[in-house]
Amino acid sequence: MKNKKGLSDVVTIVLIILLALAAVGIIWAFIKPTIENTGSGIDLSAQCFNTEVKPMKCLYNSTTDDVNVSVQLSKGKADKIKAVLEFDDGTTLVGETSQPITLLGTQQIGFSDVAGNALKASAAAVISDDNGNTKTCDVSPTVIQCASSP
């Protein structure tokens, strides 16, 4: 017999299996963070469906150009609430509570030196999970008109 040098079938199969395992490991390293982050995003979105905030009162003081918006957490749990002011020219301004709010609790969000007439106010909840991820929920469908005060 001639002196043949080459790989046996067993060695070839073992090398193919090792290459396949290495490829799976590399692909998993890229996919794993995406899968884990998607899970927490879904949990936060589900919490948004169970959370309801609404603006209660909006007062615009024309002498000081200040706006005060009262917001209430009427359902669920929120870490903070954001108030959204909409002006007559279509621009918006966002402010948030500085402390967590309790269920059925009302807090004031103040805006100072507001240029222009604030027409409408709405609110949105800010929630977080146990991992420290936060999400601002969609703006509440409740929109109130701002009233002027002297």
- Non-local (6+) Cβ contacts of 105 within 8 A are 72, 73
pLDDT at residue 16 above 90? Answer: yes
The C-alpha atoms of residue 29 and residue 92 are separated, in whole angstroms, by 41
Give the DSSP H or E segment for 38: helix 9-49
The C-alpha atoms of residue 51 and residue 33 are separated, in whole angstroms, by 27
**pLDDT given at position 12:** 85
pLDDT at residue 150 above 70? Answer: no
DSSP tag of 131: T
Range from 26-30, 87-91, 121-125 carrying the lowest mean pLDDT: 87-91
Superfamily the domain 1-150 falls into: Immunoglobulins (2.60.40.10)
**pLDDT given at position 45:** 75
Neighbours of 66 (CB within 10 A): 16
The rounded mean pLDDT for the chain is 81
- Long-range contact set of residues 87-93: C-beta below 8 Å, sequence gap at least 24: 87/116, 87/117, 87/118, 87/119, 88/116, 88/117, 88/119, 89/116, 91/116, 93/118
Domains of the chain, residue spans:
1-150
User: Residues 71-107: pLDDT tens digits?
Assistant: 888 888 888 888 888 887 778 888 888 777 788 888 8
**pLDDT given at position 25:** 93
